[in-house]
Amino acid sequence: MQKKIQSALISVFYKDGMETIIKQLHQLGVIIYSTGGTEKFIKDLGIPCVPVENLTTYPSILGGRVKTLHPGVFGGILGRRDSEQDMQEMREYNIPEIDLVIVDLYPFEETLAGTKEEKLIIEKIDIGGPSMIRAAAKNFKDLLVVAAKEDYTSLENLLVAQEGNTTLEQRKQFAAKAFKVVMEYDIAISNYFNSEEPLQTIQSKVKQSLRYGENPHQQAVFYGDLTKVFTQLHGKELSYNNLVDVDAAIELIKEFNETTFAIIKHTNVCGIAARHTIKEAWDVALAGDPESAFGGVLVCNGTIDKATAEAISEIFFEVLIAQHFNADAMEILKSKKNRILLQCHPHLLQSSPQVKSVANGFLTQQTDEGNYTDWKEVGGRETTEAEKEDLVFANLVCKHLKSNAIALIKNKQLVGKGCGQTSRIDSLRQSIDKAKQFKFDLKGAVLASDAFFPFNDCVQIAYAEGIEAFIQPGGSIRDKDSIEYCVQHKLALVMTGTRHFKH
C-alpha cells in the first residue's frame, strides 16, 4: 500500500547530502519539523521549518539532552493510521502525523577513537535519536525512516521517481536497515562499558564479497574494516585464503620486537628468522625451507629496502606484509601486477577476541597472548644464555603452528618443524626430517613443544639427533619420565606452565 509523504521530522548530526533532500521535500509540499542545528541548517537554505518546540511546548533543555522526548513527537511517529482510537487521541492532543523520519546518531565511535575523556564520550551517547529511529521503524506500515547517510541517495531517487510516495515493501526495507543501525550503535556503547566482555557480532557495517571461499565452489563474504589493519599498496583483490594467511602472519609477527622475517603457508610458519637487518632475516628465514616458501605469505616487522625486494622477487609469493616499503623497493615489487603488497598499521598491535562457528553456534575466546607464566629449569643442567634466547624464540614460533606442534630452532632460525599431526612423536619425526632435508646440523638446536610430552620418547629421539635443550608446558602425569631422562643425560629442560594448542 502506497503512502504519500506529507510531513517529515529531520534531526541529523551530519548535514552532508541533506540539502538536495530538503529541497526535494519542499518542492513536494512536505511540512518539515526540526530542531537545533538541523533547524538552523534548513532555514539557512531559505526553506520553512516548524520547530519541534511547537509540538512539545517545551524548549530544548538540559544542554540539549532533552528536546524530542515528548508525546507530541512520538505520538506523531507511533500513531497507527488505521486505528480509530489512535487517530482520535492524536486529534485530541493536537499531535500531527509524521510520515518521514530522517535521524542519524551522535558520533559515539568516532569520539571514542579520538579521545579518552569520559565526559566527552558519555555526551556522545544518543538518547532521542535511537528512540525516534526505533519508533519510526516499528511503525513502518505508516511511515518511512532513514537512519544512515548511506541511504540518502536511495531516498533521493525514491522522492523523484515516486513523487513522495512510498510502498509498504520499501518502508519495511528501510526499517530493517534502521534497526541494524541502532543495534550496532548500542553494541559499541555496551562494549565501551563492558570492555572485558565485549559483545561479538558477525555482521558489520562494512561487507565485502570475495571471489570465492576456501574452494572455488564456496561463496564467501568478509565483514569488517581491513583498512584499520593495513593499506593495500598493490596487487589483486585479497582472497578468502589470503585473508586467513594474512591474519596468521600478522598474529605471528606481533610476537617479535627484534628484526624478524617470516613465511606463512596455510596458516603455519614454514620459515622464520631474526637478524640484524631485514635482508639477513629474509635470507635466513627462506633457507629454513625454500621449498615450502613457494606461493607463501611473507611478513616482516621492518622496512623493505631495494636489496630485500630484489631477493624476494626471485621467488613466487602471494602476499608481502611490511611496516614500510622504500620507493625503489616498491618499483621492483610492482613488476608483477598480481603481487599483493600490504603496509601494516599500528592497530595490528591490538588483539581482539577470536570467534569460530561450531555446531549451530559460535565459540569465542581470548587471543593466546601468553608466552609463559613460569620458567622452571627442571633438567640435568641450567640453560645457557644462547639456549635461553633460542628457547624463548622457539616457544613463540611453536605457538603459531597447528597442534600437535614441534619447532626446532638454532640461532633464532627455524630449521625444522612438525605440525598438524595426530601424535606428538609424528610431529617430532616430521621436524627432524625437514631439518635433514635441507642439511641442517641439529647439534646445538633447541626444541619447543606446544603441549606436554606424554612420554620420554620425544626427548630421547631429539637427543639422538643432537638436541640438548627443550621447552614445553609440562603437566603430564608422566613429566618425571622426561625430567629423569634429561637429568640423567645432563640436558636442559624448561617447563613453562602454559600450553599453546592451536586447532
Annotated catalytic residue within 138, 149, 180, 489: 138
CA dist 135 and 150 (Å) reads: 20
Cell reading at 380 = 640435568
Instruction: State which H helix or E strand residue 85 sits in.
Output: helix 84-92
Burial class of residue 471, CB neighbours in 10 A (0-12, 13-18, 19+): buried
Catalytic residue among 234, 266, 436, 489: 266
451 in Cβ contact with 428 (< 8 Å) = no
Contacts of 265 (CB under 8 A, 6+ apart): 245, 292, 293, 295, 296, 297
Q: At 272, phi and psi to the nearest 5? A: -160, 145
| Angle at CA of residue 328, ends 326 and 331, nearest 5° | 110
Please indicate whether residue 436 is annotated as part of the active site: no
Closest CA to 95 of 110, 78, 112: 78
The CA distance from 79 to 141, in Å, is 11
Please, what is the angle between helix 71-78 and helix 128-138, to 10°? 30
Are 232 and 340 spatial neighbours (Cβ–Cβ below 8 Å)?
Answer: yes
Is 410 one of the catalytic residues? no
Instruction: Indicate which residues carry an active-site annotation.
Output: 138, 266
